[in-house]
Amino acid sequence: MVRAAVPELSRLGLPLICDEVFAPFSYGAPTTPPIAALHPDLPVFTLNGISKLFALPDLKLGWIALNPPAHTAFADRLELLNDTFLGANSLTQTLLPHLFAQGMAFVAAMVNRVRANLDLALARFAGCPNLTAQPPDGGYYLFPAVHGQEDEDALVLDLLAGGVLVHPGYFYGDVPGIHIMLSALTEPARFAAGVERLVATLE
């Protein structure tokens, strides 16, 4: 899709903004090569941060990496905006080198946990006629479609009463049908127990 738009983007001189916060968490897609590497002639802003990468939402430090065309065209203006409106706190900035030095093992462990949980859920849901789940390309959420239900809120509350916490699918977009969202970040034994309760409720 990006490839088809490259000539028009080049003509307009518009930057391509690529949010890579979920890049390590590939699943159906074998790899997630950076857009900036695939299209080095386009100005690309690559976004990331420690909130998703290291599961540290309270520290809130993100960044924008500019490839050479983006740096030439936009770096000065972005630096002014950052200095004026978006300064990060000094504690988080001081911690950042230590987080990268010690945190990548954590990221690898979380990637393995997410993949194992997704494998388990997809295999279990395949045998449940009232659930249809498409393997995601990446990320750590699963959005199975639920058949035989008419109210996402009522379904979620019913599951919550049985000890299963899920979100209604409409929290994440307007998609036809009934969906729920499961987080594959959950500790594996608890995730497996929740999957079994979910299937038992819907069978």
Segments making up each domain of the chain, as ranges: 2-88, 103-202
Alpha-carbon gap, residue 124 to 102, rounded angstroms: 35
Q: What is the pLDDT at residue 59?
A: 83
Alpha-carbon gap, residue 194 to 175, rounded angstroms: 24
Alpha-carbon gap, residue 98 to 187, rounded angstroms: 25
What is the pTM assigned to this prediction?
0.83
Q: In what order do the strands lie in the sheet with 141-142?
A: 141-142, 180-183, 167-168
Architecture field, domain 2-88: 3-Layer(aba) Sandwich (3.40)
Structure tokens at 133: 């789940």
Given its phi and psi angles, is residue 185 left (phi above 0), alpha (psi -120 to 50 degrees) or beta? alpha
- The CATH superfamily of 103-202 is Aspartate Aminotransferase, domain 1 (3.90.1150.10)
- pLDDT < 70 positions in the chain: 1-4, 86
In 10 A of CB 107, how many CB atoms? 16
Q: What is the pLDDT at residue 75?
A: 92
Structure tokens at 189: 């034994």
